[in-house]
């Protein structure tokens, strides 16, 4: 891993506020925004170079980088996670949300049950609604140390209701859990036993931080026959606006991918595809610096919370730049996000948006500078004093 010479740079607030992206446009100018999963760090130079080169060459037509996408992701997955996959099995899609919705449409008919694990990324609820399937919730459980985990008994009960699909979030947003190989082996065994197809959302996989180990679902025995994975460079290299993600499947599940709309290939952002190839091919040294920066920031966040908000509890996330803050013991009610927005002028994601177990929680995005992070937590602390 590259040594951390300095944390990744972040522009001044005045410059950040000129961005047109959701994080910086959703709230008025006096609010410090730490909600939606975008990062404040300057773009990785290899990606900026790839995009500049495309602009210089007027390379702005429809994207046709299928082979480069498959090859670059296969090489990255082999090097990073020892995941040997066939580059030809990688199919680009507009983004993970579009991929998940189209996979649900391939796997289910309206009215079929789909299992998810709240608290979980809010759009999982929306994808189920959009495909007119039926939600079955198998909530995570908190173990004795407070760590949120898959509840495999609850999951099995949900699978007994004969769902057509299960959307797994690994690593899990918002709790930051990296499910371990034993848990995932059980998930695969349950999927075989109850004939449930798994859509494994692995968008946060490149953001597994020091101390945790990521297991790609499709590397586990038997997973190829029941699961399809969704991956992307968009979270780890901050490319969400460029629109490109990848579906990975083995021959046994290829018919599900083949049933997605054939016109999908025309709906990929070419800048997204170019940036994705650059990220997977040459973006690892920058990614290592990002991990070290996020590792530092999560430690800074823990110490800021103990100083300014001692009643708020946080399990340091094993992955992502999203911290799941349990505010239940400081008396700010089911929706602490409102109090922090109104009194501290700090924007966070509301816990209940992630499902009922999110009541009394907020999600804080710490992919920012030490300065912005400390100002946000100081303001939050002052607001409840």
Ligand X SMILES: Cc1ncc(COP(=O)(O)O)c(C=O)c1O
Which positions lie near ligand X, rule CB under 6 A? 37, 95-97, 121, 169, 173, 201, 203, 232, 234-235, 240, 245
Task: Note the residue count of the chain.
Answer: 385
- Least distance between ligand X and beta carbon 383 (Å): 26
Structure tokens at 7: 């944390």
The count of other CB atoms within 10 Å of the CB of residue 6 is 8
Q: Is the dihedral of CA 110, 113, 115, 118 positive or negative?
A: positive
- Least distance between ligand X and beta carbon 291 (Å): 17
- Least distance between ligand X and beta carbon 21 (Å): 12
- Least distance between ligand X and beta carbon 131 (Å): 15
Judge whether 41 and 248 are in contact, CB under 8 Å: no
- Least distance between ligand X and beta carbon 148 (Å): 14
Which residues, including other chains, have CB under 8 Å from residue 145's CB and lie 6 or more apart?
A: 315
Which one, 235 or 337, has the nearer CB to ligand X?
235
Which one, 283 or 345, has the nearer CB to ligand X?
283
* Cα–Cα dist 285/239, whole Å: 17
Judge whether 274 and 65 are in contact, CB under 8 Å: yes
- Least distance between ligand X and beta carbon 95 (Å): 3
The count of other CB atoms within 10 Å of the CB of residue 140 is 22
Which one, 117 or 173, has the nearer CB to ligand X?
173
Which one, 297 or 363, has the nearer CB to ligand X?
363
Q: What are phi and psi of 316, to 5 degrees?
A: -55, 125
First-to-last C-alpha distance (Å) of the chain: 42
- The kind and range of the H/E element at 262 are none
* Cα–Cα dist 122/235, whole Å: 16
Which one, 229 or 292, has the nearer CB to ligand X?
229
- Least distance between ligand X and beta carbon 229 (Å): 12
Coil, helix or strand for 207? helix
Residue 356 DSSP class = G
Which one, 173 or 369, has the nearer CB to ligand X?
173
Which one, 232 or 368, has the nearer CB to ligand X?
232
Widest pairwise Cα distance in the chain:
58
* Cα–Cα dist 200/215, whole Å: 11
Which one, 121 or 340, has the nearer CB to ligand X?
121
- Least distance between ligand X and beta carbon 4 (Å): 25
């Amino acid at each position: 891993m590259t040594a951390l010479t300095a944390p990744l740079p972040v522009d001044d607030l005045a410059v950040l506020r000129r961005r047109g992206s959701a994080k910086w446009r959703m709230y008025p100018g006096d609010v410090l925004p730490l909600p939606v999963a975008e990062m404040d760090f300057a773009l990785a130079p290899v990606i900026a170079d790839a995009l500049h080169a495309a602009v210089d060459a007027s390379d702005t037509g429809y994207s046709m980088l299928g082979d480069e996408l498959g090859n670059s992701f296969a090489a990255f997955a082999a090097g990073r996670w020892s995941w040997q996959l066939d580059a030809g099995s990688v199919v680009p899609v507009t983004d993970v949300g579009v991929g998940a919705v189209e996979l649900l449409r391939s796997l289910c008919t309206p009215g079929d049950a789909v299992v998810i694990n709240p608290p979980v990324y809010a759009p999982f609820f929306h994808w189920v609604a959009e495909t007119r399937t039926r939600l079955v919730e198998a909530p995570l459980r908190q173990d004795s140390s407070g760590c949120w985990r898959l509840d495999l008994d609850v999951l099995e009960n949900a699978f007994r209701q004969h769902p057509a699909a299960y959307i797994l979030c690994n690593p899990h947003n918002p709790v930051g859990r990296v499910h371990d190989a034993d848990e995932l082996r059980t998930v695969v065994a349950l999927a075989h036993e109850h004939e449930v197809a798994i859509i494994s959302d692995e968008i946060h996989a490149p953001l597994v931080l020091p101390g945790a180990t990521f297991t790609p679902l499709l590397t586990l025995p038997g997973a190829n026959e029941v699961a399809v994975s969704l991956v992307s460079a968009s979270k780890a290299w901050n490319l969400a606006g460029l629109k490109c993600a990848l579906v990975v499947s083995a021959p046994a599940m290829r018919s599900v991918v083949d049933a997605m709309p054939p016109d999908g290939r025309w709906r990929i952002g070419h800048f997204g595809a170019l940036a994705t190839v650059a990220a997977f091919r040459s973006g690892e040294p920058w990614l290592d610096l990002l991990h070290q920066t996020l590792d530092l920031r999560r430690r800074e966040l823990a110490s800021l919370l103990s100083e300014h908000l001692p009643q708020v509890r946080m399990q340091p996330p094993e992955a992502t730049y999203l911290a799941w803050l349990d505010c239940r013991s400081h008396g700010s009610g089911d929706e602490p996000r409102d109090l922090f927005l109104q009194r501290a002028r700090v924007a966070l994601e509301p816990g209940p948006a992630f499902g009922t177990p999110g009541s009394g929680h907020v999600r804080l995005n710490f992919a920012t500078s030490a300065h912005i992070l400390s100002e946000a937590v100081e303001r939050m602390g002052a607001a409840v004093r």
